[in-house]
Amino acid sequence: MIAWLALALLLPAATGFVLCSAFWRNSQGLIDWLARLFVGLGVGAGLSSCTFYLGLLTGSRSRTDLLILDSLSLALAKAVSLAMRRFSSAEETRELQVALPRASMTACLLAIPLVVATCIAFRYDIRYAAAHPNGIWDGWAIWTLRARFLFRSGGQWRDAFSSVIGYSHPDYPLFLPATIGRLWTYLQHEARWVPTMLGFFFMLCTVGLAVSSVAILRSKSQALLVGAVLVTTPFFVKLAVSGYAESPLMFFFLATTVLLVMSDSRPQMLVLAGLTAGLAAWTKNEGLLFLVATGTSLTVMAFLTRGWTACFRTASLFVAGVFPIVAVIILFKSQVHVGNWLFEPSLGGGTVLGRITALGRYSTISKGYFGEIWVFGEWEISMVPVLAAYYLLLGRLRGVKQKPGLVTAMGTLAIAFVGYFFVYVITPTELDWQLATSLSRILLQLWPAAVVVFFCLTRTPEEALAVPVGRGSSNR
């Protein structure tokens, strides 16, 4: 069984890593390699869930069939890698070889509390997962339920999308159920730990990617601060082992954001950004909104800064990454004959148009946003004003306008934030209940990506300490 489990984990990991390496060339040492590994692990898991779904469609549901499909994916990734290597130029290689900054004393001092906080967060997660092995409400009632249908049903797996279980939102995409179902198929039994441990795995990938990417983009001390802020967000830690799809969704949002920021110096990263944005859409419907937000922000930014030609080139790279996943999503949506619940009439019979024109809803949602934004992380001391104060004390990075990738990432998060607001406007369920039960999760989805963007925009402690001659303390 352990051998099969190892195969189930290693094949997608290798596929994701090889595919990421195809577009993420010119490694700059261990940290760069780690960032690539974390993105690769998430991408590999996402792609393997797609192959599992395609296997269901074609009747290839046995463990051997899956093994063949996963091996084919790995071979395909290797082929893409070889093809990309042919196109890479020696000039590009020289341009990107930049030494990473050494760790400062600040970084060494920050590492200790981060390690302690991480150990406490892990202990919390392990105990929580032991107490709730099936996860909590949405986890088992939506995601694991569907995984059980996929695993137990044999040829009748489409029952998972029956309107009889309409409460479980049959139109939700399949990333999480397919990943759980795939691992169960490899193990040949329903290991109860799989859903919660998947969430834990994605939490690790999220923290790992956030830390390694900020270490590359800014500094090691800044990276440790990002890690500390994430692992000390209690709701982030708790939700990871609740069986919810938020954990992988946060990872894909973060990966897309990081890749957008990195695309300034490596444009081919946009293909990977498209892939991770597509996988976000394959994880939850909120991911579809994020995909649209990313596409919009990217094309608008490219057009405004570099004109039509660059806009077309940027959009092409992004679409090349998005396309395979969107094709799977379209295939899935065409199979499910249950409409999106957001567009259904409300309990009182109100239409979408009626809800859009009800001004009272805007006020209710604004109040909900304003009330929740300070507390959604379930912190002891709200991190939002703390980060605002930190920004004022350390100052902002100069030359942000020369970093279109960073501006694009900020635009993406802003569009998604506003987009969520309008999703609440059209939601057919009772608004107060909907806000109370989902807004904290919705805000948390954007949190890791927002934290990374925040620390990319803020000066590192080392930069803030460096006072240029003649400017005194007012240097900001």
Partner 1 sequence: MKNEEDAPRNRNSVVAEKFIKKPGGDQHGQFSAQQQLGVFLCRIRVAAGLLLLVFACGASTRLLQINTIPKAASAVPDDITLVDSNYAKLRPNLPQGQVVCFVAEPGIPREKALGERWSAQYSLAPNLLIPGEDCEFVIQRTSLGACVSTRSRQTCETFRTEKQ
Give the x-and-dash track for 162-181 against partner 1 (CB under 8 A). Answer: x-xx-x--------------
Binding region for partner 1 (CB under 8 A) out of 73-81, 83-91, 115-123, 325-333: 115-123
Q: Concatenate the DSSP letters of all residues of 223-259 into one string.
A: HHHHHHHHHT-HHHHHHHTTT-SHHHHHHHHHHHHHH
- Residues in binding contact with partner 1, number by CB under 8 A: 81
Q: Check residue 243 and give left, alpha or beta (phi > 0: left; psi -120 to 50: alpha).
A: left
Binding-residue pattern over the window 312 to 351 for partner 1, x denoting contact by CB under 8 A: ----------------------------------------
Q: Interface with partner 1 includes 197 (CB under 8 A)?
A: no
With CA atoms as reference, report the closest residue to 165 among 140, 185, 189.
140
Asked whether position 413 contacts partner 1 by CB under 8 A, the answer is no
Q: In the range 1-60, which residues lie near partner 1 by CB under 8 A? A: 28
Q: Which stretch binds partner 1 (CB under 8 A): 58-66, 79-87, 145-153, 329-337?
A: 145-153
**Pick 232 or 427: Cβ nearer partner 1:** 232
Residue 396: what are its φ and ψ, rounded to 5°?
-105, 160
Given the complex with partner 1, which of 74 and 240 has the nearer CB atom? Answer: 240
Binding residues among 87-106 for partner 1 as defined by CB under 8 A: 96, 98-101, 104, 106
Question: Which residue in 153, 346, 351, 440 binds partner 1 (CB under 8 A)?
Answer: 153
Which residues from 207-236 bind partner 1, rule CB under 8 A?
216-219, 225, 228-229, 232-234
Instruction: Confirm or reject binding of residue 148 to partner 1 (CB under 8 A).
Output: yes
Residues 6+ positions from 465 with CB-CB distance below 8 Å: none
Quick check: 464 binds partner 1 (CB under 8 A)?
yes
For the chain, the C-alpha Rg in angstroms (whole number) is 22
Cα–Cα distance measured from residue 246 to residue 229, given in angstroms and rounded to the nearest whole number: 18
Which tokens sit at 277? Answer: 């944005």
Residue 349 or residue 399: which is nearer to partner 1 going by CB? 399
d(CA 244, CA 221): 31
| CB of 343 closer than 8 Å to CB of 323 | no
User: Should residue 108 be labelled a site residue for partner 1 when binding is judged by CB under 8 A?
Assistant: no
Number of CB atoms found within 10 A of residue 347's CB? 9
